[in-house]
C-alpha cells in the first residue's frame, strides 16, 4: 500500500485542459486583438503550433504549491536538437551544465525551477511540486497536446513525475577477447 495516498480518500480535481481549438480562442477578454488564456491553453496552443513547425513535444510540467494557484509549462526539442521550455509567453533554451554532453534531466529541472521562481517572484521553491508527463509515454490515441496536460495534472495529484529527457544508453563495452592472428579461417595470398 502506498503511503502518499490515504486509503478511502479521493481528492476531486477539476482539470480545465483545453479539448479543442475554440477552448483557447474563446476564453478571457480580448487584449491587442487576441484572447487571454490560462497557462494550460497556452501550452496547448504552443504544442499544436510548434509540432506543426517540426518541433517535438517532450511533455508538459504541472507546478503546484501549497494552496496557491498552479502553473503549466511545455517542453520541446527543436529541429536543431536544442531543448526549450515554454511558460506563458516566455520561451527559454535549456543549457547543458556540461558543454561536452547533451542536455540532461537535471539541466531541464534547473531551468524549470528558475522559470518558476521568476514567475512567482521567489527564490525559495520549498513547497513547490513539479510533475512532468512525457509525451513518449502517452497513448497514441487522442490529442497529445491535451493528453500531456491532463496526464501531468494527474501525476501532480498522485505526487509522481516522469523523466522528459531520457539519458542516452551507455556506450557498448569493447570486447577484450578479439580474434588472434592466424586463428580461425583460411589464409588468402
Contacts 24+ apart (CB under 8 A), 149-153: 149/15, 149/17, 149/18, 149/40, 149/43, 149/44, 149/60, 149/72, 150/15, 150/17, 151/60, 152/59, 152/60, 152/61, 152/62, 152/72, 153/13, 153/15, 153/17, 153/62, 153/72
In the prediction, which pLDDT does 47 show? 92
In the prediction, which pLDDT does 53 show? 95
Domain positions in the chain are 33-157
d(CA 83, CA 74): 11
Confirm whether pTM is higher than 0.85: no
In the prediction, which pLDDT does 32 show? 42
CB atoms within 10 A of CB 55: 18
Instruction: Please list the ranges in the chain whose pLDDT falls under 70.
Output: 1-36, 67, 175-189
pLDDT by residue (tens digit) across 24-53?
555 555 444 445 578 888 898 899 999 999
d(CA 104, CA 106): 5
Amino acid at each position: 500500500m502506498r503511503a502518499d495516498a490515504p486509503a478511502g480518500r479521493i481528492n476531486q480535481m477539476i482539470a480545465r485542459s483545453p479539448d479543442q481549438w475554440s477552448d483557447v480562442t474563446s476564453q478571457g477578454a480580448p487584449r491587442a486583438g487576441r484572447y487571454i488564456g490560462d497557462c494550460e491553453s497556452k501550452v496547448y496552443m504552443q504544442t499544436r503550433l510548434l509540432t506543426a513547425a517540426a518541433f517535438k513535444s517532450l511533455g508538459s510540467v504541472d507546478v503546484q504549491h501549497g494552496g496557491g494557484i498552479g502553473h503549466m509549462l511545455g517542453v520541446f526539442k527543436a529541429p536543431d536538437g536544442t531543448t526549450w521550455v515554454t511558460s506563458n509567453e516566455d520561451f527559454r533554451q535549456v543549457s547543458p551544465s556540461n558543454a561536452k554532453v547533451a542536455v540532461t534531466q537535471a539541466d531541464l529541472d534547473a531551468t524549470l525551477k528558475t522559470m518558476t521562481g521568476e514567475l512567482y517572484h521567489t527564490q525559495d521553491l520549498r513547497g513547490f511540486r513539479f510533475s512532468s508527463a512525457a509525451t513518449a509515454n502517452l497513448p497514441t490515441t487522442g490529442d497529445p497536446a491535451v493528453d500531456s496536460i491532463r496526464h501531468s495534472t494527474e501525476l501532480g495529484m498522485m505526487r509522481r513525475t516522469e523523466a522528459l529527457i531520457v539519458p542516452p544508453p551507455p556506450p557498448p563495452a569493447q570486447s577484450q577477447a578479439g580474434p588472434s592472428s592466424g586463428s580461425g579461417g583460411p589464409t588468402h595470398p
